[in-house]
Amino acid sequence: MPDLRDEFEALMPEPEVYQNFWDEGITYSSDKEGHTSYALYTADQLRAAMQSVAERAAKKEREDGAVVAAYALPAPARAHDEIRIERARQMSGPDLWAVRYRGDVLNKQGEWEWEPMPSGRDDAFLGRTRFATADEAIAAAIRAREGKGATG
């Protein structure tokens, strides 16, 4: 796991406030009087910085070129069945994500539909059945598994 400390510090905004602390008998190198300043960030600033670091780390490819190509969720009906969330390469543009189960594919309305061979998939089909991110596809798969449709 890469050390993201430097990246985190680079992404941190200016703190809302600086608070000075002083402890008798303890000398800090920050000033002559033994005071040191600690940056105090709001919860929103910390949350945004952490999310940004996490997103950047998730996007980085491994040095050997390996990437996540699929996720799996247990299907509700059978213990050995699974709903697969798979990276779907595109002829042009970024990879998208498809949610597949028993030869069907989940569309953005939360309905399962038959998935034709690649040569039979038109732009309308791809627009209905491909998700921009793995997280979006996983959330849709969970809703479908729980029978909650497109929006829950």
How far apart (Å, rounded) are the C-alpha atoms in residues 36 and 93? Answer: 50
Q: Looking at residue 23, what is its pLDDT?
A: 46
How far apart (Å, rounded) are the C-alpha atoms in residues 16 and 62? Answer: 36
Q: Are 131 and 108 in contact (CB under 8 A)?
A: yes
pTM of the model: 0.58
List the structure tokens of 95. Answer: 């990879």
Q: Looking at residue 124, what is its pLDDT?
A: 96
Would the pLDDT of 33 be above 50?
yes
How far apart (Å, rounded) are the C-alpha atoms in residues 64 and 10? Answer: 26
Mean pLDDT of 11-39: 50
DSSP string of the chain, one letter each residue: ----HHHHHHH----SEEEEEE-TT---TT-TTSEEEEEE--HHHHHHHHHHHHHHHHHPPPTT-----EEEEE-SS-TT-EEEEEEE--SSSS-EEEEEETTEEE-TTS-EEE---GGG--HHHHHHH-BSSHHHHHHHHHHHHTT-TTT-
Write down the domain spans for the chain.
Answer: 5-59, 70-145
Would the pLDDT of 73 be above 80?
yes
How far apart (Å, rounded) are the C-alpha atoms in residues 128 and 131? Answer: 8
pLDDT tens track for 133-146: 999 999 999 999 88
How far apart (Å, rounded) are the C-alpha atoms in residues 100 and 149? Answer: 15
Average model confidence (pLDDT) across the chain: 75
